Structure 1
Amino acid sequence: MPLVTTDRIFDGLADKFERGLYGTPRGAIRLAVLEHVLPSELPTDGRPALDVGAGLGQMSIWLAQRGHAVTMVEPSRDMRERAIVGVGDLAITPVDATWQTLPERAPGPWGLIVCHAVLEWLAAPQAAFAHLATLLAPGGYLSLMVFNRDALRFSNVIKGNLDKALDDRLEGLGKRQRLTPISPLTDAQVRAWSTAQGLSIEAVTGVRIFHDYLLERHPTPEQLEKVIELERRYCQQEPHWRLGRYLHYTLYKPETVS
């Protein structure tokens, strides 16, 4: 169970996310890997899409550019307002909602739901996952990305936090501007929850497998290009994907059998 009993909403942190994630090699790698795998895993028929916890809107824009009408859900006001700036004339509708209010604000059912780097910031991630499954239409796809608890343990060992790793004290406290997730998840949890909700796992991808362990944390553009090539090459290969800082799942809800 997480140490924090309330969800983390990132009011006041839009600048930190923009500079500290998407303005860095970490963000470039994340988007490059997703752009590498998602076109062949998600539907291309332009069905309406729900982007839950859209943050700065990168995935909403990516989907809209590929013909989807996107409902972009983000409870943080400044994150939502920052995302709207980049929307332009794309078919994106911003919505202020938490996962608890989704059934009222964006009931669906949805043929495509995107939920990236959200569950790990919730006090009840399993309940939120079940909510998403109920909003998914039969024949629909869920693009889910979660923070990998096993990779977080590995990172703590590398940093010398040995007692923390031995005691399995990996959760963050959700305080101030610290960005250690309050509910990091394991592959086993996601698989169990998917089975319980009747969702099949079509593909699993490790995101940021190698970068965080580089001796040079600020690679040159030429080095970054090679790191991205490595990340893309091994993101779905055993055993490498299992150590991705994030794990991405493409989940499918089977058609109802009559």
Structure 2
Amino acid sequence: MHPNDVTKSYELTEAGDRYFDGLVDKFSRSLYQAPRGELRLAMLDYLLPQMLQLKEQPVLDIGGGLGQQAAWFAKRGHAVTMTEPSDDMLNHAKQWHQDDSALPHELITYLQAPLQQLDQQAPGAWPLITCHAVLEWLGDPQAALTTLSHLLAPGGQLSLMVFNRDALRFSNVVKGNLEKALRDRLAGKGKRQRLTPISPVSHAEIEQWSAANGLQIASVAGIRVFQDYLRKPPVTPEENETLIALEKQYCRQDPHWRLGRYLLYTLIKPEAGK
């Protein structure tokens, strides 16, 4: 851990959201240069082609972070508009994309804007939207899902990934944080460099909010169903391959998907008259 990870303080926006300016290195170290980040990307690579109908349609990638998801879609022929409120994160993504010679750079457009402004800055309507690991960093995730429904075209698909509140509770119990779990004090404060989300979301909430906005849950999967609960993490490539095989085998099976650290949904906006 870097010394500044604990001591430096950050503030939420006026809307109560958490941005990641000044946290690119921490974000990259904690989420993508670690086994949990590698597994998350591997599972998305495995699940997205199963859970989405991909026809090289335009994609609105909301809260695109370091740019991995935008690159994934661009390499598959999609024109991607990547939005990100953090200037630091967006610049990092642009540079990383430029350094990738295999990436069709002309297919990616960048927009620095928060989700709440996309009704005006990227109104669509969009046939495919990705919003991965964004809602849990917002002060009002329910209102955000309403905005997403407005941006989505009739018949369109929303790939939504959220940090699972139920998994966070279970993980705290496994770690011995019994009082914290009992009192349901699970959310992070968003004040320092710790990456515990400020608004972890439950599956029940996604069901309620989706129905309220006329969105249908077409499919759901858990990401990191087992990894976060291991007493001994894999130490050899063979053990890691076995873990990935387990994750792939059970990520869409009940009850296992319900304890994924992240929940991945495909939400559909029905066409008129259907």
Identity of aligned residues (%): 60
Q: Secondary structure of 2:220's match?
A: strand
How far did 1:114 drift?
0.2
How far did 1:20 drift?
1.4
1-structure distance, mates of 2:27, 2:245:
24
Instruction: Extract unaligned runs of 5+ from structure 1.
Output: none
Q: Which residue of 1 aligns with 2:189?
A: 173
How far did 1:218 drift?
5.6
Q: Secondary structure of 1:237's match?
A: coil
Residue from 107, 131, 155 that aligns with 1:115: 131
How far did 1:87 drift?
2.2
1:118 aligned partner, one-letter code = V
Query: If the length of structure 2 is used for normalisation, what is the TM-score?
Result: 0.90
Match status 1:163 vs 2:163: no
2-structure distance, mates of 1:223, 1:25:
12
2-structure distance, mates of 1:147, 1:24:
18
User: RMSD of aligned C-alpha atoms?
Assistant: 1.3
How far did 1:36 drift?
1.2
Q: Which residue of 2 aligns with 1:220?
A: 236
Q: Secondary structure of 2:238's match?
A: helix
Match status 1:83 vs 2:93: yes
Conserved? CA contact 2:164–2:200, under 8 Å: yes
Residue from 159, 162, 165 that aligns with 1:146: 162
1:193 aligned partner, one-letter code = W
Deviations 1:87-131 (A, max 9, x none): 234311111000111112111110000000000000000001100
Q: Which residue of 2 aligns with 1:55?
A: 65
How far did 1:160 drift?
1.1
Q: Which residue of 2 aligns with 1:106?
A: 122
How far did 1:199 drift?
0.9
Match status 1:70 vs 2:80: yes
Q: Which residue of 1 aligns with 2:9?
A: none
Deviations 1:125-154 (A, max 9, x none): 000110000000001000000000000001
Q: Secondary structure of 1:219's match?
A: coil
Q: Secondary structure of 1:87's match?
A: helix
Conserved? CA contact 1:156–1:165, under 8 Å: yes
Stretches (4+) displaced over 4 A: none
1-structure distance, mates of 2:173, 2:122:
41
Q: Which residue of 1 aligns with 2:47?
A: 37
- Bigger mean CA deviation after superposition, 79-88 or 156-165: 79-88
Q: Which residue of 2 aligns with 1:23?
A: 33
1:212 aligned partner, one-letter code = D
How far did 1:225 drift?
1.2
Residue from 141, 144, 152 that aligns with 1:125: 141
2:180 aligned partner, one-letter code = K
Q: Which residue of 2 aligns with 1:255?
A: 271
Residue from 114, 136, 143 that aligns with 2:152: 136
Number of aligned positions between the proteins: 255
Query: If the length of structure 1 is used for normalisation, what is the TM-score?
Result: 0.95
1-structure distance, mates of 2:95, 2:47:
27
Match status 1:46 vs 2:56: yes
Instruction: Extract unaligned runs of 5+ from structure 2.
Output: 1-11, 99-103
Q: Secondary structure of 1:86's match?
A: helix
2:202 aligned partner, one-letter code = T
2-structure distance, mates of 1:110, 1:240:
32
